[in-house]
Amino acid sequence: MDPLVEVLDRNMEAMADVAVGYLIQIGLKYDIFKELVLGVSREKLIASVPLPNKERLGRLIDTYLQLGIAEESGGSLRIAEFSYELPLARERLEKLLPDWIPILEEMYKMVDYAFISREHPKVLMDFDKGADFWDMRLLLGINRVYRQLASRLLGLEDGMRIIDLGCGSVSPVELGSAVGPNGKYVGIDFSPGLLSIATTRVRNEGLDWVTLREMDVRRLVVRNTYDGVVMSFLLGYLENPGAVVRKAIEMLSPGARLVILDSFRDLTPKVAALEFFESLTKEFVRFPSAGEILAAVDESPYDVEASVIGNSTIVVTRVL
């Protein structure tokens, strides 16, 4: 297996494990587990916990149920026989990139403010109002790894034409540099805040072949084909990710590849813990499953082949 795939997968697994630990801290902090030990109806539990944002509290309870921390029977919620372990095997630790830990810790702190109001100014997960926080996330080592992996899987080199759906603020420089100056990079994102940061970087680097467009990928009209298409951690923000995957396949030239990088819910253990924190962003829906993405690929009218690499990567190739 590609070493970058292993690094990406091991870090995503560790992030989910640490996120579970934070969810347990929340339950202890607000005495939620004391209520669950006794057994309580969902309505009574939500009413008894003194947190204003009941929708967020309900989502926390749903997450406990998904993770097996709590169980529901006969209309009553109870604590489950749940044990928590954080594996520290050497082969795993050697691949961990520690810079995501402070970011996850900040998201854990934001939850307290989200329990007051989703719109609390200290919840910095809005793509525009919190663009600087998102940019910090996109500069993390783990995100650099998935961009390097995308570049490797696409075989990026000078002269290629690629399109990046949900490009954010960093990929336009890192992936754009790989295809220039004789190629073309098109970055699509719906966040003007992140695109503003990206535009400044692109201008400072003199990447004249990089084009950035503010657009919702769901409304993208296919007019050109490309040597490669990238979608990195985009699909969790779409109600119908399969539709965008099929549109991305339509943009592939014969022999070209689509690289999809994401936390696939059927391949990533404890992914529900990550979803709870990512849902601080109002646009977040849920992480996709690899199964639903492969089903969308099968529905494409084009002759394509798909392969799952590790737990976080799908490559779709349009056959010549």
Tens digits of residue pLDDT in 147-206:
999 999 999 999 999 999 999 999 999 999 999 999 999 999 999 999 999 999 999 999
Phi, psi of 47 (to 5 degrees): -70, -30
Q: Before 301, cis peptide (omega within 30)?
A: no
Q: What is the pTM of this model?
A: 0.95
Residue 1 has pLDDT above 80, yes or no: no
Residue 61 has pLDDT above 90, yes or no: yes
Q: How far apart are CA 160 and CA 212, in angstroms?
A: 16
DSSP 233: S
Phi, psi of 264 (to 5 degrees): -75, 125
pLDDT band with cut points at 50, 70 and 90 for residue 209:
very high
Summarize pLDDT for 101-150 with one digit per residue, the tens: 999 999 999 999 999 998 999 999 999 999 999 999 999 999 999 999 99
DSSP 40: B
Q: How far apart are CA 191 and CA 13, in angstroms?
A: 28
Start-to-end CA span in the chain (Å): 26
CB-based contact 137:147 (threshold 8 Å): no
Q: Is the dihedral of CA 96, 102, 106, 111 positive or negative?
A: positive
Q: How far apart are CA 251 and CA 249, in angstroms?
A: 5
Q: How far is CA 81 from the centre of its chain?
A: 29
Residue type, 280: L
**∠ Cα 100 14 314 (to 5°):** 90
Residue 28 has pLDDT above 80, yes or no: yes
Q: How far apart are CA 128 and CA 260, in angstroms?
A: 24
